[in-house]
Structure 1
Amino acid sequence: MCTLPNFFLAGAPKAGTTSLYHDLRRHPNVCMSDPKETWYFFDYRKYNERDLDWYESEFFEQCDEQSLVGEATPGYMSHPDSPFRIAERLEAHPQFIFLLRDPVERAFSSYHYDIQRGSRDPARSFSEVIRDPYEQKADPSQNHVGLLEAGRYICHLKRYEQCFGCERLHTVLFSEFINSRRETLHRIFQALGLSPIPIPDSERHNATQYPLSTSLFIALRRAWKVTEQALGPPVAKYFKPLRDTVRQNLLSSGREPPSMTASDREYLHDFYADANASLAEYLDLSLSHWTWNSSG
């Protein structure tokens, strides 16, 4: 029995995809990838070196009798090659769910989440990062999608429409998912041809955490780089669990999140203005709540 995906929860990052993944897993007629994110159609090395048999056995071995199979790699939405790779390898065209969050807020959350994971230098401020041209473009040869490029939703959706047609694309606003979760989930189930099920109270998943001390977090990152260079990656990997434990102890989800400066918010509002206007027209939807507010 073929257990390749019938649908993808394809993005956007830091827009509720982990919570929706867990909600979809609860449905008795859905089997989701394990783990949540496979990155198969994002990472050119996986895509070029591994075939669909490997992809199926690696991530969907647990799927057998379920009517729908899905995976949830949020990076697929903004990667320029992902929709074309999916169309090339999957004969039965799947459906796609895209969660859309105010790109200004999404960028701020993603920046701090990258610091939490250790993939971004905490010594580089948010103001510096968003003005870096490299963060405003994608480079598939490096598996790179810039922090700001990820929020140009209209460009990404049009690529998917080109490959699959608009009838297979389902967009959900992050604010709807947060504020009207049960109604939104029933709408998603209906779009996927699933019967409604009771929806339990929401749980937070993959929430961004913030350093208790930025200076200590920077010192830890620098110390790890020195250790990795001294020992070499093959040996240093055995110390990663210890590093991760120390890093986790320097984080707190209960800490009050830092605030975005008014100048950064204005810069991002201007950066996304045309893309958001085109998106609102494309979706025939008001996105007025994404408008810049100098007080916030």
Structure 2
Amino acid sequence: MEMHDINFLIIGATKSATTWLQQSLQLDPRVHMPDPEIHYFSRYHDRGDRWYLENFKPASEGLVIGEKSNSYLDTPAVAARIHQSLPDALLVAQLRNPVERAYSDYCMLHRRGEATADIERYLDPRQGAGGRFLEGGLYFQQLRRFLDLFPRERMLVLFYEDLKIDAASQVQDLRRFLGLDENPSFEPVAQRVKDKTKPLVDARLRQILKPLKPIVAPLRDTKGFEFLRSIVSAEFKYVPLNNELAARMIEYYEAETDRLAGLLGRDLSHWLKAPLADCKRQSV
């Protein structure tokens, strides 16, 4: 397999249901995508093309081959690297209300113990500008880097909000873009609702117990394991996104959203209204 055998890349955005897109494509036996995110063009480019290609193990010839790495969209060096190695690749971006995306990303890392309960430190533009959470929603800047190098027709931009309305149409649009046959009966994978109220072991305790993971791994899914886990678990307490902070985030993204709307010819004014973000139950 060579670099030119890779047909497409799903480049982001993080927390915008790109895993759902990937899993829906993988239902088609003509599509080959490795499951883990490779992050080659963003984090591991120094490992070289041979390492990258080792991640692809197509079972037969004639497959549509691609990968998904959400870090590609918001890493500045990636567009040029992809253009150099895969100048003919098709690019897929799925975007989400940037305020809700940032809050969802924060909740995920907070639950993992990688972000503290000081939400304004991460999401208030007066403190968190330049950090992962707010930078991830600067879509105009991110797409512009790719469109300066790739023809517009080689990029498909989808929206998280559209899949909530008609998931099947969203996948059919993607299939058409990738040159896959139309299949009116094709059904995407079900949209998973992630119950974020499920009890969780405290992050500090998880770090202490981490060396024991290989030992207890065979015991997972047993009644004894679940009983012990229930003793040390508790419902995770999320920090709410209050209206004042949401308003500051909306103002931060306003000019960027207007430029993106002009670039894509899409009305995105609903992104500039107060979001209904709730980390406790989120789909996909």
TM-score of the superposed pair, with normalisation by structure 2 = 0.81
Query: Equivalent residues in 2 for 1:1-296 (5 A)?
Result: 1-2=1-2, 4-35=5-36, 37-43=37-43, 46-48=44-46, 50-57=47-54, 59-90=55-86, 92-118=87-113, 120-121=114-115, 123-131=116-124, 135-137=128-130, 146-197=132-183, 198-200=185-187, 202-205=189-192, 207=194, 209-210=196-197, 212=199, 217=202, 220-221=203-204, 223=205, 227=208, 238-240=211-213, 250=233, 259-293=240-274
Deviation of residue 87 (structure 1)? 1.6
| Cα distance, 1:187–1:282 mapped onto 2, change above 3 Å | same
| Cα distance, 1:237–1:295 mapped onto 2, change above 3 Å | closer
- Secondary structure class of the residue paired with 2:157: strand
The sequence identity of aligned pairs, in percent, is: 25
Question: Which letter maps to 2:243?
Answer: A
Per-residue displacement from partner, 1:18-59 (whole Å, max 9, x unpaired)? Answer: 100000111232111232x1011110xx211x12122111x1
CA distance in 1, matches of 2:240, 2:26: 34
Deviation of residue 294 (structure 1)? 8.1
Q: Is the 8 A contact 1:116 1:210 kept in 2?
A: no
Higher relative contact order (CA 8 A, sep 6+): 2
User: Which residue of structure 2 aligns with residue 233 of structure 1?
Assistant: none
- Secondary structure class of the residue paired with 1:285: coil
Q: Is the 8 A contact 2:92 2:158 kept in 1?
A: yes
Question: Which letter maps to 2:241?
Answer: M
Deviation of residue 136 (structure 1)? 2.5
Q: Is the 8 A contact 1:83 1:163 kept in 2?
A: yes
Q: Is the 8 A contact 2:24 2:188 kept in 1?
A: no
CA distance in 2, matches of 1:93, 1:110: 31
| Cα distance, 1:88–1:251 mapped onto 2, change above 3 Å | farther
- Secondary structure class of the residue paired with 1:170: strand
RMSD, aligned CA = 3.1
Structure 2 unmatched runs, 5+: 221-228, 278-284
CA distance in 1, matches of 2:79, 2:234: 35
CA distance in 2, matches of 1:206, 1:52: 37
Aligned residues: 264
Structure 1 unmatched runs, 5+: 138-144, 228-235
CA distance in 2, matches of 1:278, 1:73: 25
Deviation of residue 238 (structure 1)? 3.5
Deviation >3 Å, runs of 4+: 1-4, 132-135, 204-208, 210-213, 236-247, 249-252, 255-259
